Amino acid sequence: MKMWPFKGSQQRYDAVAGDEEELKAAASAKRHGGASKPTQTVCIVAVVTIALFALVGLAYHTLHSPAQTQDPAANATPPPPPSENDNNNDNNSSSRCPQRREWRTLPPSDQQAYISAVLCLRTLPSTLQPSSNRTAYDDYPWIHSHVGYFTHNSAPFLPWHRYFLHIYEKTLREECGYTGSLVYWDWTLDSEALEVSPVFDAATGFGGDGEVGGQVTVGRSGRCVVDGPFRNVTADYYDVKFQPHCLSRGFRDQEGNLGHIDGHEISPESIEEVLSLNEYEKFVALMESRVHDAIPFGIAGDFETFTAPYDPLFFLHHTQLDRLWWLWQQRQPEKGLTAYGGHKERHSMKMASLEDEIGMRKLAPSIKVAQVMDLEGDFLCYRY
């Protein structure tokens, strides 16, 4: 059974998908000064004409319809005929698996629900060190720096993080009462000016850059985040070094200029080049070195190290990377669910296999890589 609406290799990357198409149009209109007046005039005339026809039709129906004296059930609107995709509805993954959506498409109430659930993790005891004063929020940067580190620059980079995201999402739901799905940040929409992306909004997002002119707390340019819902978050570690500090960011471009983040590596054109690669080993290498690295090195601060999950934007960033991997899998209809290869882990000469284990220490049980290859299979259940 075909699980996904596979696209051919000729399909070009679309910055947004499905019900997010209006975002693309809005962004384009904003760049070009909005719709032209002739276009607006034509739209108004069309709407008025349609409304007049609707009124005439309603009047005619009212005058010519027989009195409704029979059984109301007989006049009930019959259900629509089943579509081709409705067959075997219990197995229809598109209806049973929730959809992960782009951050700016969520209504404010859903955005707030997600942020509240993430902050909830700071009130829960650590799974890794339950007798300590650390929290569930702290578990994720610890696991990423001590376990996830070995998956970078190797084959399991994408499947390990896919499972990591699944555990995070599951915890938000089961421990913090979150009823939604993970969300992603499609930075291709903001690639011309990443620093003004809606995700950095202090009221509706995750707060912005570190304090302008403030003292450097970590790394090359990290300074305390002083606005938004995470302004009071503290981090115990910077990479593997115990160094308590405030959540820090320090926007910088490749020339070292502060306040700006380079976006050319994650433009739609750049992403299309990456998605056009046919071999997994080449694809995952460029996904990490070009696409993944642009955001940590641009936001800097905590995001620049392996304790990056202290910054909640880590999860929106990696959910977007997961989405891109899913899109790439769709372009490989004959091998998408099995395309995997390269070195088993960082600094290892052993070759990777779908039977390799994905380990998470005490955070979650180990599973096999094969179990996370299909988003809508027996183990995972979500879609983009």
Question: CATH number of the domain that 277 lies in?
Answer: 1.10.1280.10
Residue 312 lies in a domain: yes
Which structural domain, as residue segments, surrounds residue 295?
103-372
Tell me the pLDDT of the chain averaged across its residues: 84
Residue 222 lies in a domain: yes
Q: Cα angle at 117 between 294 and 226, to 5 degrees?
A: 55
What's the mean pLDDT in 321-326? 98
Residue 91 lies in a domain: no
Torsion, Cα of 371, 377, 380, 384 (10° steps): 120
d(CA 218, CA 299): 12
Look up the pTM and report it.
Answer: 0.79
d(CA 286, CA 273): 10
Residue 37 lies in a domain: no
Residue 272 lies in a domain: yes
pLDDT of residue 334: 87
Q: What percent of the chain has pLDDT over 90?
A: 73
Residue 45 lies in a domain: no
Residue 248 lies in a domain: yes
Q: Is a pLDDT exceeding 50 seen at residue 116? A: yes
d(CA 140, CA 133): 15
pLDDT of residue 31: 43
357: which strand partners?
368
1-5, 321-325, 347-351: range with highest mean pLDDT: 321-325
Cα 119 to chain center, whole Å? 18
d(CA 157, CA 287): 10
Residue 224 lies in a domain: yes
Q: What is the pLDDT of residues 119-178, one digit of tens each?
A: 999 999 999 999 999 999 999 999 999 999 999 999 999 999 999 999 999 999 999 999
pLDDT of residue 269: 97
Cα 297 to chain center, whole Å? 19
Buried b or exposed e, range 271-310, using 16+ CB within 10 angstroms:
beebbebeebeebbbebbeebbebbbbbbbbbbbbbbbbb
Q: Is a pLDDT exceeding 90 seen at residue 322? A: yes
* Residue 207 and residue 231 in contact, taking contact as beta carbons nearer than 8 Å: yes
Which amino acid does the sequence have at 185?
W
With 0-12 CB in 10 A as exposed, 13-18 as middle and 19+ as buried, what is 351? exposed
Q: Is a pLDDT exceeding 70 seen at residue 2? A: no
Q: Is a pLDDT exceeding 70 seen at residue 382? A: yes
pLDDT of residue 26: 53
Number of other residues whose CB lies within 10 A of the CB of residue 382: 19
* Residue 367 and residue 354 in contact, taking contact as beta carbons nearer than 8 Å: no
Q: Is a pLDDT exceeding 80 seen at residue 90? A: no
Q: What is the DSSP secondary structure assignment for residue 346, as one 8-state letter?
A: T
Give the phi and the psi of residue 110 in degrees, each rounded to 5: -75, -35
Q: Using alpha carbons, select from 189, 266, 275 the residue that is nearest to residue 7.
A: 275
pLDDT of residue 119: 98
Q: Is a pLDDT exceeding 70 seen at residue 384? A: yes
Question: pLDDT-derived band of residue 11, with 50, 70 and 90 as boundaries?
Answer: low
What's the mean pLDDT in 95-114? 96
- Alpha helices by DSSP H, the chain: 21-31, 37-64, 93-96, 108-120, 136-146, 157-176, 268-275, 280-286, 293-299, 313-330
pLDDT of residue 96: 87
Q: How many domains in the chain?
A: 1
What's the mean pLDDT in 216-227? 97
Number of other residues whose CB lies within 10 A of the CB of residue 31: 9
Which amino acid does the sequence have at 25?
A
